[in-house]
Amino acid sequence: MFAYILRRILYIVPIALGVTLLVFALVHIAPGDPLNAVVGPDAPAEVVESLRRAYGFDRPLPVQYLIYLGNVLTGDLGQSVATGRPVVADLGRALGNTLILSVGAAIVGFTSGILLGALAGWHRGGLTDRLATLVTVIGVSVPHYWLGMVLVIVMAVELNLLPAMGMAPGGEGWGFTTTHLKHAVLPVITMSVIPMGIVARSVRATVAEVLQQEFVQALRAKGLGRGPVLRHVVRNVAPTIVSVLGLQFGYLLGGSILIETVFSWPGTGFLLNEAIFKRDIPLLQGTILMLGLFFVLLNLLVDIAQAALDPRMRRS
Amino acid sequence: MTLRFTRRLVLAGAAAVALSSALLPAADARAQGVLRIGMTAADIPLTNGSPDNGFEGFRFSGYTMYDGLVNWDLTAADKPSVIKPGLALSWEANPQDTTKWTFKLRPGVKFHDGSAFDAKAVAWNFDKLLNKDAPHFDARQASLVGFRAASVASYRVVDDLTIEFTTKAPDSFLPYQLSFILMASPAQYEAVGKDWSKFAAQPSGTGPFKLTSLVPRERAELAPNKAYWDAARVPKLDKLILIPMPEANTRTAALLSGQVDLVEAPPPDTIDRLKSSGMTITSNPYPHVWPYHLSRLPDSPWNDVRVRKAANLAIDREGLGELLGGFAVPAKGHVVADSAWFGKPSFDIKYDLEAAKKLMAEAGYGPDKRIKTKAIISPSGSGQMLPLPMNEFIQQNLAEIGIDLEFEVMEITSLINRWRAGAKAEQNAGASIINFSYATVDPFNAFVRFVKSDLHAPNGVNWGFYADPAMDALVSKAQNAFDPQAQAEILGQLHAKMVDDALFLWVVHDVAPRAMSPKVKGFVQARNWFLDLSGVTVQ
Amino acid sequence: MDATAASSPAPARPRPVRSPGYWTMVGRRLRRDPVTMACLAVLLLIVLSAVFADLLAPADPYKASMIRRLRPIGTPNYPLGSDELGRDMLSRLLHGGRMSLVMGILPVLNALIIGGLLGIAAGFFGGRLNMAIMRTIDVLYAFPSVLLAVAISGALGSGLTNAIVALTIVFIPPLARIAETVTTQVRGMDFVDAARASGAGSLTIIRVHLLPNVLGPIFVYASGLVSVCIILASGLSFLGLGVEPPQAEWGLMLNTLRQAIYVQPWVAVLPGLLIFVTSICCNLASDGLRTAMEVKL
């Protein structure tokens, strides 16, 4: 097991490096001058040039990359061009806010998805199964930014039950109060639809497959209680489900930009949006890099968890 | 300013000081309420005294916490606002050598950190923008506001309360320019370890509000500066909270659900809904114009004055106003018609399709000879109002007189780049129009930068390379007019010439709609980009 | 958007070269599947109405009218209301389908060709080439698809071409992976060994033995991506990163109509409804196709 973990960790090093290279390349293929964000409309050319030097934009690209990599390794993601604040600080806050949504959506989406999928798989072909299939298809087919809009229209504009946007009144930070929870309801529900569909689909398929196994069929035929069968099913289903859940959590974190835009939630997606439209290169790099690395890490954890649950995986 | 005018300012200043001691306790006793404002900026504008985010930055992060030597009078809603003494009590250009200006500073003013404001602090603040060798020179601030002091050649501390500026050439607009250079505290800069980004987190100015907490992108909290030097402007509020809300719908939603008390620029479509929910809508014209800036290069179709006039007559500004929910003033020129600088142009800009078609025919265009040209536009941006629908509307209007517009849409930051590059730049090839809103708050930014022949790229933003010796002569005359009346007169002539030559395609002036909860009292929407929030209370 | 990962390529079951009756059988199976047939019919309708939008649209989708803006559904002459510029919604929805379908299908097609070739090359030649290709793909896999699409098109700037490039890059990794997996398996099968023993060259083997067996699964998998791509593409436009105004495109229409949720909420949600219907039909049709073709992914 230890050797396996080590192997996996070694395996992600080149990937992580590739991620930094890609992130670096990404922002340099971009048209537009990164200094746009900082320079006042009438600024004289010599001031623009001095800023360019100050930010290192005049160095050759490979040098810029090595400097960048060195900084990243020491935990320095640079300063926002637009505000001069360290990217790390802004990113930390935003990540926290995105986590609130993602964790909420994960709890709602995963629980309902697992329940629905398990019921459907257990009673294959029944009403639950058809319902689960429907939910699954809707979950993976619905443009969630549109669903968010519809929910806002119904719950906020028409019924005035829940706040339409924002994280809290007056731009306050997060806290576990009724007001805050009310703000989180709509974005969390909207966000949870996709993982719910996908988790339900995977759980259903895996449960059904395990139940098809001869061994289980025999157990059931013998009239053995549900207990042993269930235990067997859980043990066999767990590794697959853990991997699906892990990936889905990663997608929630990395894919929050649309939801955060619809609900004006001050998370990483919001930050990304701003960085893109202000062409704030360090902020853009930092945000994408952080989310990318987080995803890589999550994949590693999923692999390890899977291996822990299923010894066969370690050999592959 | 003339000597006579200066004396009047000194008197006014003295009166204000006298008044302040009388009013101070009363202002304290009335302190009440928290005002939460939803801004259109995506982030809290820089709080270090050189705000970004254009004039919204100056409005909320600038004049709230800081003062300039010269301030804007924002107390009246019924007339265009003018400059008035700020941290300077008076100013005067030397009649013998008009490049030399003496500014007498206001005594007894303290920064929020308790240190004293004096002439040395003024020089220090100009060093941060203009003196590259100064240890506290900040390229970011220099790029954001330094250009406004571009005519300043040098400055000299005469005594504690006197500073002398020397301009590169006679420049009667200097007081206007200095209203954008805000005074930050040198002592605080030292105290936070000589780091501008730390200073922005714990800023110290002389303004009516001081920053108490700053959460980037989420909120800034400001508390009143009870020791503000102008007692009449000590804020009544307990707290002012600024919240960035770049999404127009978010602002509406936040106001409706009581998350904020006042929002900037509510989308016109939601105004009815806001009104029916009991919200108050205020609006007022201010020095803003939404034009098409035209190229005057040889290949431009706009070199014929008849075509320019025809375009100006082809725009149905009333119809466009409807799109904007009535929140726009049809443009009659570069500035609003009751501005002191409007002058007496003979060309009356209005919607007259027949006249426009006639002019086009005279210029040799017709159904089988149409003008095809390209306009650079942006989908959003400060002061751009609703650029996409408005541009499409104009596209249709112009098509009726035989001008076919094609749009090149880009983000506002790219557009600013194209704007700075000038029409001649390779990237602007084929484009004869750039749609960028202008602030016409001070004479240089309202007129000079667009019409002076040598201010084209890279020296300035005369985007279209317009050049007319007669116009240059007028500019020079205005810059040498140190009597405010005479200066206004000449600027009027200059503006009349702009209109009669139809130098731009002028469309509308914004009226800056704002929506607020009925709990907000005492809000005055001055005819300016800036606001004075000191009289506001929230119940 | 997450389906790319949800069905991250599991071992496929390749089959030897098919009998000529295979496609007849697939067709027969499809015809007996009412859900799939219904979905295909709806999709056909959507595609046809997009193709013939010029003939079907009752009005000019770009003709604005300031005095008739934001009319409700059912207004005379505006059966589905009018948008924020007073343009006829029905006409714009019909025309908007074009861009949305192009942006939903073209990137998947591009990625199918590029990713498929990469995957087949990696799977067939193995060794270093496999390493080089698949590790690069792994790096792209290190980003959630939404993030990758937003990052690339954000970097390139808005515009139809840039959005298509970004989406193509997003869909290359899953298609390359699946092609690689299937190819590796087919390559190890008896009939390929036999062909090689009889002296057939690589190209011949790929063309005659590999492609027919590999294309089916990849194609079915790609058809499932179309629905993801439509949502993602409209999502980019919704963020302001896709097509540019005044172009009619569902995602962009949804974006510009968001300002109207307080005025005409039910007109504002129409473009999203179409994205939803198209996407769900694509998904179900792809599932049906998968079952009918007996491809297990």
Q: What is the pLDDT of residues B134-158, one digit of tens each?
A: 999 998 898 888 888 989 999 999 9
CATH code where residue A226 lies: 1.10.3720.10
Confidence of residue B52 (pLDDT cuts 50, 70, 90): confident
- CA–CA gap between residue B269 and residue B247 (Å, rounded): 14
Task: Give the distance from residue B474's alpha carbon to the nearest chain A alpha carbon, in angstroms.
Answer: 23
Rounded to an integer, the average pLDDT of C201-228 is 84
The answer, yes or no, to whether residue B1 has pLDDT greater than 60, is no
User: Is the pLDDT confidence value at C225 over 70?
Assistant: yes
* pLDDT at residue A220, as a whole number: 72
Contact B389 C67 (CB under 8 A): no
Distance of alpha carbon A311 from the chain centroid? 28
In terms of phi and psi (left: phi > 0; alpha: psi -120 to 50; beta: otherwise), the region of B207 is beta
Best residue in B252, B388, B435 to probe C by mutation, most C CBs within 10 Å? B388
pLDDT above 70 for C10: no
pTM: 0.80
Q: Are B294 and B433 in contact (CB under 8 A)?
A: yes
Min Cα separation C237/chain B (Å): 13
Higher pLDDT, B106 or C24: B106
Torsions phi, psi for B230 (to 5 deg):
-105, 95
In angstroms, rounded to a whole number, what is the distance separating the alpha carbons of residues A138 and C284? Answer: 10
Quick check: C3 pLDDT over 50? no
> Which chain B residues contact residue A170 at CB under 8 A?
36, 219, 241, 243, 259-260
A188 is a domain residue: yes
Binary contact (C258, B249; C-beta < 8 A): yes
Does the pLDDT value for residue B366 go beyond 60? yes
pLDDT at B394 over 70: yes
Q: Which residue of C3, C140, C258 is in closest CB contact with A149? A: C258
Calculate ∠ Cα A80-A85-A87, nearest 5°.
55
Asked if the structure places residue A190 within a domain, the reply is yes
C281: distance to nearest CA of chain A, Å? 9
Judge: A37–B143 Cβ closer than 8 Å, yes or no. Answer: no
CA–chain centroid gap for A1, Å, is 28
Q: Is C37 within 8 Å of chain B by CB?
A: no
Q: C67 vs B392: CB contact, 8 Å cut-off?
A: no
Searching chain A, which residue's CA lies closest to the CA of residue B218?
A171
Chain B closest-CA separation from residue A14 CA (Å): 34
Structural domain count of chain A: 1
Place of tokens 């992600």: A12
Arithmetic mean of pLDDT, C163-185: 92
Least CB–CB distance from A26: residue in C151, C240, C273: C151
Between CA A199 and CA B245 the distance in angstroms is 35
Task: Select from B36, B218, B253 the Cβ nearest to the Cβ of A165.
Answer: B253
Q: How many residues does chain A have?
A: 316
Asked if A173 lies within 8 A of B139 by C-beta distance, the reply is no
Residue % of chain A over a pLDDT of 70: 90
Nearest to A146 among C8, C143, C272 (CB): C272
pLDDT at position B22 over 90: no
Q: Identity (one letter) of the amino acid at A164? A: A
Q: C4 vs A158, A257, C43, CA distance in Å? A: 36, 18, 21
Predicted confidence (pLDDT) at residue C136 exceeds the cutoff of 50:
yes
pLDDT band per the 50, 70, 90 thresholds, residue C46? very high
Burial class (CB in 10 A: 0-12, 13-18, 19+), C19: exposed
Winning range, highest mean pLDDT, from B297-311, B316-330, C47-61: B297-311
Q: Does A14 touch chain C (CB under 8 A)?
A: yes
State whether B267 and C259 contact (CB < 8 Å). yes
Of B144, B196, B250, the CB nearest to A264: B250
Peptide bond into C246 cis (omega under 30): yes
On whether residue A174 sits in a domain, the answer given is yes
Amino acid present at B300: S
Chain A neighbours, 3+ Cβ pairs < 8 A: B, C
CB of B237 closer than 8 Å to CB of B261: no
Of the two residues A233 and C88, the one the predictor is more confident about is C88
| Domain hosting residue A109, numbered range | 91-279
Nearest CB to B389; choose among C84, C157, C158 = C84
User: Token pair of A111, please?
Assistant: 């629980």
From the centroid of its chain, how far is CA A92? 15
d(CA A244, CA A231): 20
Q: Angle formed by the axes of helices C160-187 and C89-125, to 10°?
A: 40
Using alpha carbons, select from B183, B148, B145, B146 the residue that is nearest to residue B163.
B183
Residue C7: its pLDDT value, please?
41
Residue B185, number of CB atoms within 10 A of its CB: 26
Chain B residues in contact with C157 by the CB 8 A cut-off are 410-411, 414
Does the distance separating the beta carbons of C246 and B379 come in below 8 Å?
A: no
Chain A contacts in chain C segment 271-290 (CB below 8 A): 272-273, 275-276, 279-280, 282-284
From chain C, the residues in CB contact with B270 under 8 A are 259, 262-263
Report the alpha-carbon distance of residue B186 to residue C143 in Å, rounded. Answer: 46
- List chain C residues with CB under 8 Å of A142: 231, 276, 279-280
B389 contacts on C by Cβ (under 8 Å): 64, 84-85
Q: Cβ contacts (< 8 Å) between C235 and chain A: which residues? A: 143, 145, 258
pLDDT (0 to 100) of residue C20: 58
Residues present in chain B in total: 539
Residues of C whose CB is below 8 A from A15: 135, 138-139, 142
B26 has a pLDDT exceeding 50: no
Predicted confidence at residue A304, as pLDDT, reads: 87
Residues 307-366 in B contacting C (C-alpha not used; CB under 8 Å): 319-320, 322-323
Class of domain C32-53+83-292: mainly alpha
Residues from chain A contacting residue C241 (CB–CB below 8 Å): 276
Residue A61 falls within a domain, yes or no?
A: no
Nearest CA in chain B to C262: B270
**CB–CB of B411 and C246 under 8 A?**
no
Asked, for residue A186, whether it belongs to a domain, the answer is yes
CB pairs under 8 A between A and B: 141
Q: Is the dihedral of CA B99, B104, B106, B107 positive or negative?
A: positive
Residue with tokens 């890490």: A297
Name the C residues in 228-247 with CB < 8 Å from any B CB. Answer: 240, 244-246
A84, A163, A168 member nearest B196 (Cβ): A84
Residue C242: pLDDT band by 50, 70, 90 thresholds? confident
DSSP H helical ranges for C142-269: 145-156, 160-187, 190-197, 202-204, 211-239, 250-257, 265-268
Residue A65 lies in a domain: no
Q: Is A253 on the interface with C (CB under 8 A)?
A: yes
The closest CB to that of C269, out of A146, A202, A277, belongs to A146
Out of A15, A198, A255, name the one closest to residue C142 (CB): A15
Measured between CB atoms, does C84 come within 8 Å of chain B? Answer: yes
At residue B266's C-alpha, the angle toward residues B260 and B267, to 5°, is 145
Tokens of C217: 């699964």
What pairs with residue B366 in β-bridges? B369
Phi (first) and psi of residue B195, to 5 degrees: -135, 115
pLDDT at A41: 57
Angle between helices C160-187 and C127-141 (to 10 degrees): 140
- Please say if the pLDDT value at position B471 is more than 80: yes
Distance of CA B199 to CAs A151, B42, B50, B122, B266, Å?
A: 43, 21, 12, 17, 32
**DSSP code for B34:** E
Question: Above 90 in pLDDT, residue B233?
Answer: yes
Question: What H or E segment, with its residue span, contains residue A114?
Answer: helix A87-122
* Token duo for residue B489: 């007169």
Counting beta carbons within 10 angstroms of the beta carbon of residue C240, is it exposed (0 to 12), middle (13 to 18) or buried (19 or more)? buried
Q: Determine the straight-line distance between the first and last CA of chain A, rounded to whole angstroms.
A: 12
Residue among B322, B388, B410 minimizing CB distance to C67: B322
What is residue B4's predicted lDDT score, i.e. its pLDDT? 45
Does the CB of B278 have a partner CB in chain C at under 8 Å?
A: no
Nearest to C261 among A141, A153, A198 (CB): A153
State which amino acid sits at residue B422.
G
Q: Smallest Cα–Cα separation from C224: which of C27, C3, C2?
A: C3
Which residues from chain B sit within 8 angstroms of residue A41, using beta carbons? Answer: 416, 419-420, 461
Nearest CA in chain C to B253: C262
Q: Where are the alpha helices (DSSP H) in B400-514?
A: 412-421, 443, 449-451, 469-479, 484-500
Let me know if residue A201 belongs to a domain.
yes
The answer to whether B234 and B249 have CB atoms below 8 angstroms apart is: no
* Closest residue by Cα to residue C204 from C194, C214, C195: C195
CA dihedral B378, B384, B385, B386 (to 10 degrees): -10
Q: Read off the pLDDT band of C66 (50, 70, 90).
A: low
C103 CA: distance to closest CA in chain A (Å)? 15
Contact assignment for B416 to A41 by CB distance below 8 Å: yes
Residue A272 lies in a domain: yes
Mean pLDDT lowest among B24-28, B112-116, B169-173, C272-276: B24-28
Q: Please state the ipTM of this predicted complex.
A: 0.87
Average pLDDT, rounded, for chain A? 84
Q: State how far the alpha carbon of A202 is from the alpha carbons of A84, A133, A216, A248, in Å.
A: 46, 11, 19, 12
Residue identified by tokens 């390929």 is C192
pLDDT tens digit sequence for C96-124: 999 999 999 999 999 999 999 999 999 88
Residue C16 has pLDDT above 70, yes or no: no
